[in-house]
Amino acid sequence: MARVFATQLRGKTVMTKEGEILGSLDEFLFDSRTGKVLNILVAPAEGVEPRLFKTDAKKRIVLSFAHIRSARDVVVVEMDG
């Protein structure tokens, strides 16, 4: 995946590789020691049930940054399972 700035991805639609829209990319979680991005926080789209996912205190979906498969007009993630 080409390098892009986090500010370019914030607000982009996040969807699964199967085409299911999960929501919009809200924030990144970094390892403060290494600076490595660990997770992305996704504000759920209308109709997406956050209880089906790991969430933070603000009910944003927590996805591993390693699951991002592409990031252009939308952010495509590969879900476990």
Parse the chain into domains and list their residue ranges: 6-77
Whether residue 15 contacts residue 75, with contact meaning beta carbons closer than 8 Å, is answered with: yes
pLDDT surpassing 70 at residue 1: no
pLDDT in tens, 20-69: 999 999 999 999 999 898 999 999 999 999 899 999 999 999 999 999 88
**Quick one: which of 50, 78, 81, 52 has its CA closest to 64?**
78
Residue type, position 30, single letter = F
**Stated pTM of the model:** 0.85
* Dihedral pair phi/psi, residue 16, rounded to 5°: -75, 165
> Which CATH code, of 3.40.50.880, 3.50.50.60, 3.40.50.12170, 2.30.30.240, is assigned to 6-77?
2.30.30.240
